[in-house]
Amino acid sequence: MPTIAYKKKPQNTSRRDEPSSPPGRRASSAPPPPQAAPSISTEKKPFLEDTRVRRQGIIFFTRQLLTLHKAGIPISEALGTIALHEKQPYFKRVILKMRRDVEEGTNLTNAMRKHPKIFSSFFTGVVESGEQNGVLEPLLLQLVQFQENEENLSKNIKAALRYPIFVMITLALAFTVIMAFIFPRFKPLFSKFGDDLPIHTKILLGISTTIQNQWYLLLGGIFALIGLYFFAKRFKAFVHFIDRLKFRIPLLGKLYRYSNISQIANMLSTFFSGGIVNYLNILHLLDKSFTNVVIRDEIRRLTYGVTNGRSLGESMEQSKLFPPLFAHLTHVGEKTGEIQSLMKILYEYYEQELRYKTQKLIANIEPMILLVTSGFVLLIALGIFMPYWRLMDIVK
pTM over 0.75: no
87: CB partners within 8 A, 6+ apart = none
- For every residue of 167-202, DSSP letters joined together read HHHHHHHHHHHIIIIIGGGGHHHHHTTTT-S-HHHH
Stretches where the chain sits below pLDDT 50 are: 1-43
Residue 67 CA to residue 140 CA, distance in Å, equals 9
- For every residue of 280-336, DSSP letters joined together read HHHHHHHHHH---HHHHHHHHHHHHHHHTT--HHHHHHT-SSS-HHHHHHHHHHHHH
**Class of the CATH domain delimited by 31-119:** mainly alpha
192: left (phi over 0), alpha (psi -120 to 50) or beta: alpha
pLDDT computed for residue 48 by the predictor: 57
Give the closest residue to 118 by CA, choosing from 90, 96, 140.
Answer: 90
Q: Does residue 60 sit in helix, strand or coil? A: helix
What is the separation, in whole angstroms, between the first and last Cα of the chain?
121
pLDDT computed for residue 132 by the predictor: 80
Domains of the chain, by residue range, sit at 31-119, 135-396
Residue 183 CA to residue 280 CA, distance in Å, equals 64
Side-chain half-sphere CA neighbours of 168 within 13 A: 9
* Other residues' Cβ atoms within 10 Å of the Cβ of residue 49: 12
pLDDT computed for residue 194 by the predictor: 65
Residue 162 CA to residue 170 CA, distance in Å, equals 12
What is the 8-class DSSP label of residue 134? T
